[in-house]
Amino acid sequence: MAKDTGKTVVITGGGSGIGREVAMLMGKRGAFVVVCDINESAASETAALVCGAGGSASACVLNVTDAEAFRALADEVMAEHGHIDYLFNNAGIGIGGDARDFTVSDWRKVLDVNLNGVVHGVAAVYPHMAERGAGHIINTSSLDGLVPFPGHGSYTASKYAVVGLSHALRIEAAPLGVRVSVVCPGRVKTPIFDNTPMVNYDRKKVMRIVNAAPAISPDACAKIILRGVDRNQGVILTSDYVRLMWLLERTAPELLHGIMSIALKLSPSLRVND
């Protein structure tokens, strides 16, 4: 497990869920892990867990929507360690609801974290990796970045953009010695849905639908991600469910969208004010 001894990892959204589990595994692999999160106590807790398991880590508060803060972090890590070997752009948020009920502010909040947060990470770290001729950027998208789901408009838009960005960057970066992967998880048993705001949606009804989808643990997801990273997979899929949905979207989109439309019509109204 010490295959990454001497390497440096930066993980955003590392305070919980997938980010925390990736941090734990990278620590066990011998890397120094810089755990970044907007929640200081969560980042510190993850760093303590990594160190308690025999790894090395530090915690930092980072708002990924702040490009200058991301750049300052990258420069600080470079000054201290001399290189950044892995960047996991993992931070993300969501807002549930019909697009007709979203305000422009609702759209911007999600796009600023999920898309601009990735852009800021790439802008801060990629030049260092390109100059060195080595490194791996891993961007977390979602099944929503491969398959459109109703009620997830802003989230889907942001995650599709992350997939496209990652594909383009992978082609560009390869001749420079830098690898790029995009992770597309399905449902993972994390608190993200508990913390997701709902705009004019009944949370209980939404959660019944969410809980019906197959789910895996954050630990299992992290192991799949790192296996994909080791294999330099361009797209890392985390379950057979994700693979099936993506296959249907590519080969029979009208069928898949039709099924979604029927399911939406048969479901009790999710909107509170219908």
Say which of 86, 126, 155, 201 is annotated catalytic. Answer: 155
Active site (annotated) includes residue 155: yes
| Closest C-alpha to 206, from 120, 264, 257 | 264
Using alpha carbons, list the distances in angstroms from residue 201 to 96, 102, 106, 213, 266. 7, 11, 14, 19, 16
Residues 6+ apart with CB under 8 A from 52: none
| Closest C-alpha to 4, from 23, 19, 18 | 23
Concatenated DSSP letters of 113-148: IIIIHHHHHHHHHHHHHHHHT--EEEEE--GGGTS-
* Alpha carbon of residue 84 to chain centroid: 19
Active site residues: 155
